[in-house]
Every structure is written in C-alpha cells, then in structure tokens.
A and B are shown apart, each in its own frame.
Chain A
C-alpha cells in the first residue's frame, strides 16, 4: 500500500539497504557444540576509543591522542561498527604524527630504560635493541613477532640510529610499531580447520585480543598473554575462566576496566553522547543549565552500572523503580532532595516514573530545544529499543516541527501525520509511542497538562510483539518492559558490539544460543555482556575467499 514498507519488526526485510534483522531460523542444532555457521569476520581497525586505551596500556600514555583525530564516520549506531572504520589519508597522517609523538614521549627522560628494560650502551646496545623489539613488539602487535619482522625492525633501528644516538633508533622503531597495520588493526588470520572450509580457528593470541577488546576495549593484559603463550586459551572453558577473571574481582566487585567498558557500550547503544551536547530554550526552561544536564548523564550512567553489576536484568532497565539523584535532579523530578552531595539512590513514584526511558537524560535528548518531540521519542524507541527503525521521510516532505500553539497540545499539533493518508502508514508506528511520553516535558519534568489542557498520553503499539492500545504512558512503559522484542533487541545490540558489525544470516543460530543463555540466567545484563563473547562461534573466524 505504501512504498516505504512500514512494517518494521525483527524478522522484516522491508528496510532496503539497511541492516535487516532476519527472522528466527527454523532449525538450529541445539546439541552441537560447534556453531552451524560463522558470520563475517571483517578486519577491524581500532576505534579511537580503543586506540586511546591501547596506547595507555602499552606505554602508559594517558594523553588520549585519538581525541584529536578526524571523527569517525558513523555509519551504524555503534562506534565500533566496521563500516565506520576506514583509513583515510587525513587519518593516516594523524596516526603518523601521533605515533611519532607517543614514541618520543615514551622514551624521554628515563623512559628509555623503563620501556626497553635494558640500557643500550656500547656493547650491549644491539642486544638491548633486539630485546626491546621482541618484548614491545609482541605487546604492540599482540602476538610474538616472526623472524622476518624482527629482522626488519632491527634493520630500521640500525639505519635510524646511524649518526645519531640509540634513543633515535628506539624512537623510530617504536613509532613504526605504532603506525603498523599490525597495531592499528585487529588482525585475525587463524589457522585452517580440518573438514570445515567455512571457518578458521583463531590462534590463542587472537582469542586473547577478542576477550580484551570485548570486555575492556583495550589490548590483552600480561595474564592473557601468558595464557596464550602457555597454550591455555584454546577452549571455551578456558576462555570462560579468563572472562570471569576479567569481570569480577575476588571480593565480587566488578573489574574496573570491565565496568568502564560496559558503560561505554551502553553509552553507544543509547546514544548518550548526544546528551552532552544538549541545549534548551532558556526562556522556556529557566531551570535548565549545564550542571543539570551533567547530572542527568551521571544519573543514567550510575543507574546502568547499578543494574549491570547488581544482578540486574534487561527487564530491570525498563521496569526499575529506583534511580540516583542529586539535589538538582530531585528538583527536576519533584522528589525530596537527598542529604549529602552526589547521587543518592531514590525510589520513584511508579505512577509517575520508572525505568530508563523516563530518565531526564533520554527524555531531554529526544526533544527539541523548546518543545517535546513525539517523533524523536517514538523513533528512538523503535530504533534502539525495538530494533525496527523506519525509513527516512520522502524528500518532498516539510519536516519542520509545527509552531507552538497556545491553543493546542503537542499531540493535537502533530495530528496531521495520522490524518494524512500518505503519512499515516509510518507515523502510526512512531507518533503514538511518542505521545505516550507526553507527560514528560522537553527537559524531562513530569506534567499533567500543557497549555492548560490535560495531557492525553494514550496510544497504541503497532508492528511490535506487544501490540494494542494503551491508556497512558505508564501502560506503554509496562508493555515495553514486558516486550520480548525489546529484550531480543538489547541482546542484538550486545551481539553487534561484540562482533563489531550488524548480524547476518549466518549468525542467527548463534544469536539464538545467546538468547537462550541469557534467558536461562533470567535476563541478566552481566550474563549478556560476558556470554556474547563465549558463544559457539567464539573460537573461529569465517574463512574468506
């Protein structure tokens, strides 16, 4: 009936050109330990975030050089989607300058002795250089160097050092390592698997990198390198043991690197970066300022951390009654100010607010500067919570928001979308969801009326697994919390982040497997985070032609 295929749901292939979320497969072998098929394993360049972390852990450089790099082209929603990770001449030049500067910094003063682990003087110089190349090279490339590589780097050292001092030689070699494709890309060559032409077995070092980048967003630590060297990274069980070590400390606290990285993954999924840049119409919202905005962001991050590491589940993201507020947020939410400074745990009135989707951060993010945006809020839910985005509007459409009108509510002003037949098929899936949030204004405050008229937050869900009308925003939130589609979508987001790409046909059974495991745990976030790296495809990469 329409040319836009607005029947979005997981399993629908109507989105042309975009990543389709394919339907559940009819037959996945449940008894085999080996994955039926392996999805694509593209060569992945380090993201800027990974580059900063890796340089920090390799050399102790905390200057975050990648913050100066040309911003990544964001093809997908997540920062590590392989589609975004190309090398352009400008970026290469930046890599070059950064490598040179990082190497210089690392070796200045007593850095040379510290990094090299030896003193390159006179007779010991070449052996020290050789030791440096072996040791730092193995960490920089995240695997032992081949004899050819050592010879080549040694030659670089020798030629750079001629007419200069040893420091110049080390600096050149180190800069070369930092610019090498073996450093900038996560190389996975693997080895052939007998009887399986579609896959290759990852080497222990390649598996070490999969775990470290998957859980920490950085290079492997000494324990992982040692496990790889000792041949103790070859089975899923061995991987699992490492994963446990990498996520929980003995006393049960989360490992700091895992905590930080998981926060990053959430930030990518939910688009929290946009909250940092929010501006609002001060005339309409005198309460709004940068401090409030920063508090909102902190609240959401604190909440996510709490749910993730305190045995919280995916459902808890949407149905939790608690959050964390400071005095500013307490004023925004209309709850009593906490004692003391900083964020304190608070229980919301569930009639007014519960779950992530009612956080000020997301409500304000998905609003205009001076008015709410049901379209943005509806589209956000469809895209990020339900994984069924809708196509762009046709080019002839005028999509300026309608002018504020003191005689009408926002809902009434947007009514044309569903009244006009050419707009309806898509907008009936977006707008009602957005209207469900009309009880929250453009900075997230709860309101019962707008322009003196009572807010009507009723609506309906279409083309979801929890379809039907709802009488209020509260009911909508409850539906989303119970939605299996939403749960599956969250799982997909983590799958995508673990693999650095959108899912493909070949991944469907693995995704099925991941869903089963997460379900078995009751939907726990921590389980999702760790199991996404331990599915039956974890030991393999796809074999390319």
Chain B
C-alpha cells in the first residue's frame, strides 16, 4: 500500500476542530506531533479555531482556509465541465480584449458577452493519463495515484471543497449543503469525480434531477418525533465514534474521522441547522435515470433544480461535469442529427473512426464531417450553460440577481480529444459579486490552470495564494 505524506496544508479546520481528514495518510509521519485528528477540544484544535494554526505557513498552498467572513451577500461558484475536449480554433474567440468575436462554439454566449471572461493559454500542467487522471487533477491540481488506469484517484483535496469548507466553518453563513456534486452518469470503470474531500476520497455525485430535488425540497426534517429520533441516533453514534477513536491509532483513526465528518454534514443536511427550501407550486423534476439518450431533458431539469436550490441558498458551491470524460459511454447526439441510424436516440456501439460517439469523434477531429459534428455538439453544451445563466438572471437578489453574485466556471479536463492538456477552454460567466471584471478575452502565456482556480477562490472570499502541487503551479492570475 503506498503511503503519502500528509501536509498541514492538506487539512482544513473549522470551528470546533472539525477536520477534513485524509485516510491512508500516516498523521504521525508528517509533523503533526501527536496532534489529535479526531474529536473536539485539544490545544491544537483551539489554535486552529482561532486561526492561529493556519498562519504558521502563510505562503503555503492550500493553507487551512480560515472561516469565510460574514458578508451581506452570498457568492456562488459553479464549475461545469464537458468531456473529450473541444475544437480549439472554433472555441476560442478572436480579436482584442474587449472587442472579441466569439467562435462558432461559444456563439451562444453572445447575448451575455458583457458578463463573461474567456481565457486562452491556460494549461493543465499535470501531464498524466488520458481521461481519468486529468479529470481527477482538474480541481485538485495534484497527480493521480492508484494501481491502474481507470482506478486512479487524486492525491489531494479539490478547490471547491476548500471553498465549501471555508463557508461551512462560519455558522453565520453556513449553508444546509456544503456543496453539490452533480452529474449525469457514474463512470462504469474507475471514478470520474471532480470533487475530492481529500486524497483518494472522491465525492459521489447526485445523478438525477429528481434525487437532487428530493434532497433539497422534500420535507426532510419530518415530524418532531422523527427529528427527535434522528437527533438521538446521531448523538448516539457520535458518542460511539468518540469512544472507538480512543482505541484506535494512526491511520485507523483517520478513517474514523471521515465517518465523523460525514456525520456532521448529514446532521446539517437533514435540516437540523439552516433553513428549509420550498419549491414553487407545481414544480416537479421527473427525470430519474441517467439514460444517455435523455441527456437534454436531464440537463435542463438539473439546471432548473439547481437554480431553485441556489435561490434558497441551499448551497454555494457546485461542481457539475455535464458528462464524464472518457470513452465509457456510447454518447451520441441524436437530437442534433448525430447518430448511427435514423433513430434519434440510437447509441453508437462501434468504436472506430467511423463512429458517431462523442469519444470516437473527438479522436478523429480532423475530418470535415467530425469538425462539423463536434462544433454542433460543443455548441449544444455551451447552450446548456447559457440556459443556466438565464435562469439565474431571472432570480432577484438584493438590488440585482442571483447571477450577479455568481461565478460559473466552464472548462474541460483535456483540451482536445487527443488528450492534450495545453490551451484548455476556460470561460467564466458572472462577476461573483463584482470581484471579476467581465466582458473580456484574455490571452495568457502557458498559464497553469491552478492560477485560475485560486483567482476564483479569492473571488469567493477565500484567501489563498497558491493551490495544489507546486510542480503544477507557475504564477497567479488576476481576474479583477
């Protein structure tokens, strides 16, 4: 079993000594000096709670983010990805910083051009693997580890979780769900997660709009008897965890810590803290399966439920890969006329250069036929993001709208179907409450993508100067 060094920076602490611990990491090996990782109390937990601990290494990456300051406006970050790269010359705009001209794929954003920032010259510096590794590295900026292709997982926490925990650590602004991990399928081999709560701890996704709806809107607090029973059960197992943790050492205790953290999250989610969300009359989300043929309906419904959830502040951090990267699915786009037969929803089961599945086309993206198809496919994906923008612009908030206080990051784990990782498509929609100067096209020079993520974390109010593996970092980016 490989062992990893645990760095102080990899651990986040919030109030009460809550730790997002990382199993399989030998705490004793890495300078924790017997610091207890489980349970409440302890002098070190106090130091962290007061923010002293996090200042020991002021310039380190992923420094334990102190709790987010309370402010009068909530900010949101939504990270959306698409699979199998894109066609660079059709995605990137041309022209200057403010007078850019959108390409055929990004043209759907034209009505919102003043609210977007496009970045060119952003690279994933981690060069491992084809689909799974870049996916795991996209938000963690760390290499993937594991016994074989398809079974690799990121070796650190993802930035969305860092932000989510910073929000969660402040009881004044903590949301009922610390984050949403949404998706439209579970990859059949390995894990295709973007979000990691720690090394080799990918977070499972909510794949169906109805499941998300039920989690957020269904009367989950239940009757007062149910609430009491729930509290009693959770209190009981918390006590059992505490007793058990005292009998175990090192790694085992870390594994138990993940249990404790999850317990606290669940307590929050099940409505014992924070407000309830109620859905508008007549709204329902019917889609349940992740049938790839129903992709348009699923994505639309998911965006609808997401918009409603953001409106009632159920969460402020969302990751949503619209489709998992890689060739596992036979995803075709019959509704765009791209498929193996006249049946608009026939999946393509061939896997060679003539195939119309997304993965196969992306590996044969030099033929005129596939250039046309991939342009339409990727433009369709962009339209789904525009749909979300429009939904958020329609929800009033303060003197503006929910969109005004949001940043949507669109990017992709790989740049092109051939798995190249340089010159990723990067688009940010929304100013995140005025922190981002939008309406621009920026040309950067071999910029490590971690820099963009840090800029977004800063826009969300989380202080950090670097993130991830130092080997994959070159410089910061300013978005304001």
In the complex with contacts A176-B233, A544-B252, A370-B352 CB distance below 8 A: yes
Chain A nearest Cβ from B137, distance in angstroms: 11
The smallest C-beta distance from A236 to any residue of chain B, in angstroms, reads 25
Q: What residue of chain B has the Cβ atom nearest to residue A171's Cβ? A: B229
Q: Does B309 contact A (CB under 8 A)?
A: no
Interface centre among A172, A184, A392 (most CB of B within 10 A): A392
Which of B188, B236, B255, B349 touches A156 (beta carbons < 8 Å)?
A: B236
CB distance from B349 to the nearest CB of A (A): 4
Contacts A76-B147, A83-B200, A175-B233; is A148 near B243 (CB within 8 Å)?
Answer: yes
Distance A17 CA – B151 CA, assembled complex (angstroms): 12
Contact A88 B262 (CB under 8 A): yes
* Residues on B with beta carbons closer than 8 Å to the beta carbon of A189: 247-248
- Taking a contact as CB atoms under 8 Å apart, the answer to whether A396 and B252 are in contact is no
From residue A29, how far is it (CB to closest CB) to chain B in Å? 24
Chain A neighbourhood of B241, CB < 8 A: 181
For the side of the interface on A, what is the size category?
35 or more
Q: Do A43 and B1 contact each other (CB < 8 Å), given the known contacts A181-B241, A281-B350, A395-B130?
A: no
Q: Which of B202, B228, B351 contacts A368 (CB 8 A)?
A: B351
B385 within 8 A of A: no
**B128 touches which of A156, A185, A371, A395 (Cβ 8 Å):** A395
Residues in A with CB closer than 8 Å to B60 are none
With contacts A160-B228, A181-B241 taken as known, whether A153 is within 8 angstroms of B236 at the C-beta atoms is yes
Interface presence of B184 (CB below 8 A): no
Partner of A70, one of B188, B204, B229: B204
Contacts A171-B229, A175-B229 known; A544 to B354 CB distance under 8 Å?
A: no
Alpha-carbon separation in the docked complex, A442 to B129 (Å) = 27
Decide if B281 is an interface residue (CB 8 Å cutoff): no
Q: How far is the CA of A400 from the CA of B327 in the complex (A)?
A: 10
Given contacts A88-B204, A176-B233, contact A149 B240 (CB under 8 A): yes
Q: State whether A92 touches B262 (Cβ < 8 A).
A: yes
Q: Which residue from chain A places its CB closest to the CB of B349 in the assembled complex?
A: A369
A-side contacts of B57, CB under 8 Å: none
Indicate if B265 sits at the interface (CB-CB under 8 A).
yes
Q: What is the CA–CA distance of A154 and B189 in the complex, to the nearest angstrom?
A: 45
Pair B145/A17 contact, Cβ less than 8 Å = yes
Total A-B Cβ pairs within 8 A: 227
On whether the beta carbons of B188 and A277 are closer than 8 Å, the reply is yes
- For B219-257 the 0/1 string (1 means CB < 8 A from A) is 000000100111011111101110110011111100110
* Cross-chain contact of B419 among A371, A389, A397, A401 (Cβ < 8 A): A397
List B contacts of A164 (CB < 8 A): 225
B244 to nearest A CB, angstroms? Answer: 5
How far apart sit A340 and B34, CA to CA, in the bound complex (Å)?
69
Q: Tell me whether A182 and B418 are in contact in the complex, defined as CB-CB below 8 angstroms, given that A42-B252, A71-B186, A392-B130 are known contacts.
A: no
Residues of B within 8 A of A88 (CB): 197, 201, 203-204, 258, 262
Contact between B249 and A280, CB atoms less than 8 A apart: no
Q: How far is the CA of A293 from the CA of B146 in the complex (A)?
A: 31
Partner of B350, one of A74, A370, A504: A370
With contacts A88-B201, A393-B130 known, is A371 near B352, CB below 8 A? yes
Which residue in A40, A77, A82, A280 is a CB contact (below 8 Å) of B349? A280
Identify A398's interface contact among B153, B190, B263, B418, CB under 8 A: B418
Given contacts A96-B266, A502-B147, contact A392 B129 (CB under 8 A): yes
Which B residues, 178 to 209, have Cβ-Cβ distances below 8 Å to chain A?
178, 181, 186, 188-191, 193, 197, 200-204, 206
B247 contact set on A, CB distance < 8 A:
189
A64 interface residue per 8 A CB criterion? no
Q: Which of A75, A160, A544 has the most CB of B within 10 A?
A: A75
For residue B45, CB closer than 8 A to chain A, the reply is: no
Asked if A99 is at the interface (CB within 8 A of a chain B CB), the reply is yes
A77 to B: closest C-beta gap in Å: 7
For residue A19, CB closer than 8 A to chain B, the reply is yes
B474 located at the interface, meaning its Cβ lies under 8 Å from any Cβ of chain A in the complex: no
Within 8 Å of chain B (Cβ to Cβ): is A403?
Answer: yes
A404 within 8 A of partner (CB): yes
A545 touches B249 (CB 8 A): yes
Q: Does B330 contact A (CB under 8 A)?
A: yes
- A89 & B251 in contact (Cβ 8 Å cutoff): no
Most chain B beta carbons < 10 A, residue from A19, A43, A152, A160: A43
Residue A344 CB within 8 A of the other chain: no
Contact (Cβ within 8 A) B233 A179: yes
A176–B236 touching, CB < 8 Å = yes
Per the bound structure, the CA–CA distance linking A18 and B145 in Å amounts to: 7
Asked, given contacts A86-B258, A160-B232, whether A93 binds B270 with beta carbons under 8 Å apart, the answer is yes
- Chain B interface size range: 35 or more
Which residues from A are CB-within-8-Å of B352? 368, 370-371, 400-404
The reply to whether the CB of A180 lies closer than 8 angstroms to some CB of chain B is yes
A37 at the interface (CB under 8 A from B): no
A252 to B104, CA, bound (A): 72
Which B258-280 residues have a C-beta within 8 angstroms of A? Answer: 258-259, 261-263, 265-266, 269-270
Decide if A181 touches B244 in the complex (CB within 8 Å): yes
Question: Are the C-beta atoms of A181 and B349 separated by less than 8 Å?
Answer: no
Q: Within residues 298 to 332 of chain B, which ones have a CB less than 8 A from any CB in chain A? A: 330
Contacts of B1-59 to chain A: CB distance below 8 A: 1-2, 23-24, 26, 28
Q: Does A383 contact B (CB under 8 A)?
A: yes
CA distance A544 to B247 in the complex (A): 11
What chain A residues lie within 8 Å of B469 (beta carbons)?
A: none
Q: Is A187 an interface residue (CB 8 A)?
A: yes
Contact status A369-B351, CB under 8 Å: yes
- Does B148 have its Cβ within 8 Å of any Cβ on chain A? yes
Return the CB mask of B118-160 against A: 1 if under 8 Å, else 0: 0000000001111001100000000001111101010000000
* Cα of A160 to Cα of B353 in the assembled complex, Å: 64
| Cβ–Cβ < 8 Å partners of A310 in chain B | none
Q: Which residues of A contact B2 (CB under 8 A)?
A: 17-19
Check: B383 CB closer than 8 A to any chain A CB: no
A83, A160, A371, A389: the one within 8 Å of B229 (CB): A160
B466 in the interface (beta carbon within 8 A): no
- In the complex, which residue of chain B has the Cβ closest to the Cβ of A284? B350
From B206, which residue of chain A is reached at the shortest CB distance? Answer: A90
Q: Does A492 contact B (CB under 8 A)?
A: no
Question: Judging by beta carbons under 8 Å apart, are B259 and A181 in contact?
Answer: yes
Q: Does B420 contact A (CB under 8 A)?
A: yes
B326-352 to A contact mask, C-beta < 8 Å, 1/0: 000010000000000000000101111
Q: Are A19 and B147 in contact (CB under 8 A)?
A: yes
Q: Are B225 and A168 in contact (CB under 8 A)?
A: yes
A32 within 8 A of B: no
B391 within 8 A of partner (CB): no
Q: Are the C-beta atoms of B151 and A19 separated by less than 8 Å?
A: no
* Pair B250/A74 contact, Cβ less than 8 Å: no
CA A90 – CA B202 in complex, angstroms? 11
Q: Which residues of A contact B476 (CB under 8 A)?
A: none
Please determine whether A89 and B248 come into contact, CB atoms closer than 8 angstroms. Answer: no
A92 and B147 contact, CB distance less than 8 A: no
Q: Are B127 and A395 in contact (CB under 8 A)?
A: yes
Residue B101 lies at the interface, judged by CB distance under 8 Å to chain A: no
A182 touching B270, Cβ below 8 Å: no
Query: Quick one: given A172-B229, A176-B236, are A74 and B204 in contact (CB under 8 Å)?
Result: no
* Chain B residues positioned under 8 Å from A274 (CB to CB): 188-189
A-B contacts, 19 listed (Cβ < 8 Å)? A17-B2, A19-B2, A40-B1, A73-B153, A77-B148, A87-B258, A88-B262, A89-B269, A91-B262, A92-B259, A93-B265, A96-B266, A152-B236, A164-B225, A277-B188, A400-B360, A502-B1, A502-B147, A544-B252
- Beyond contacts A176-B237, A400-B352: 4 other A-B pairs, Cβ-Cβ < 8 A, are A42-B1, A73-B191, A185-B255, A185-B256
A-B pairs, top 6 by smallest CB distance, nearest first, are: A70-B204, A92-B262, A89-B265, A400-B363, A369-B349, A392-B149
Task: Spell out B's residues near A (CB within 8 Å).
Answer: 1-2, 23-24, 26, 28, 127-130, 133-134, 145-149, 151, 153, 178, 181, 186, 188-191, 193, 197, 200-204, 206, 225, 228-230, 232-237, 239-241, 243-244, 247-252, 255-256, 258-259, 261-263, 265-266, 269-270, 330, 347, 349-354, 360, 363-364, 418-421
